[in-house]
């Protein structure tokens, strides 16, 4: 496996991972003045917070992430790319780049980088909406920065 990341349902993870994410949110939104207060509020140790804070984050448009890279396969038909752009715009993501390979067997592969600053939904919902769009064969999250 080449990827450094896995998308895992939080139901199978220890509860303290979610608490690390909550502590980070408290700090980012000013609801806790410092790390000591944030970890006290979510009931984890400072060492647990420091151990995982750079590795556990919510897959959401409103958190610390600023850019998402998504790979897609689209049917090579008039209007499919326009439908994709409309889905992206409907959730207030903005497009940084689009790279498209020449179509092979009437399927074009697209890599798209999205700015998530003003997004109105999480990446999970965006990708589900992409997959439900006529002409889009696949949509997979490659990474988040």
* CATH number of the domain encompassing residue 93: 3.30.70.260
Same domain? For 94 and 30 the reply is: no
> What's the rounded Cα separation, in Å, for the pair 38 and 19?
10
pLDDT tens sequence across 14-58: 999 999 999 988 988 889 888 999 999 999 999 999 999 878 877
Q: Is 11 helix (H, G, I), strand (E, B) or coil?
A: helix
What is the C-alpha to C-alpha distance for residues 55 and 4, in angstroms, rounded to an integer?
Answer: 11
Report, as an integer, the average pLDDT of 115-144: 90
Beta strands in 12-144 (DSSP E): 67-75, 94-100, 107-115, 136-144
Tell me the whole-structure pTM to 2 decimals: 0.56
Question: How many domains, the chain?
Answer: 2
What pLDDT shows up at residue 123?
Answer: 87
In a domain, 59, yes or no: no
Domain range enclosing 71 = 67-144
The answer to whether position 6 is within a domain reads: no
Mean pLDDT confidence for 117-141: 91
């Amino acid at each position: 496996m080449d990827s450094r990341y896995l998308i895992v349902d939080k139901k199978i993870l220890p509860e303290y991972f979610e608490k690390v994410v909550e502590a980070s949110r408290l700090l980012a939104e000013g609801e806790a003045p410092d790390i000591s207060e944030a970890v006290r509020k979510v009931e984890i140790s400072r060492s647990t917070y420091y151990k995982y804070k750079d590795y556990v984050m919510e897959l959401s448009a409103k958190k610390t992430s600023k850019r998402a890279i998504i790979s897609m396969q689209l049917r090579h038909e008039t209007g499919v790319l326009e439908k994709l752009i409309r889905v992206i715009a409907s959730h207030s993501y903005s497009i940084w780049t689009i790279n498209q390979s020449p179509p092979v067997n009437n399927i074009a592969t697209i890599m798209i980088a999205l700015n998530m600053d003003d997004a109105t939904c999480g990446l999970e919902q965006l990708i589900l909406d992409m997959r439900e769009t006529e002409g889009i064969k696949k949509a997979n999250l490659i990474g988040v920065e």
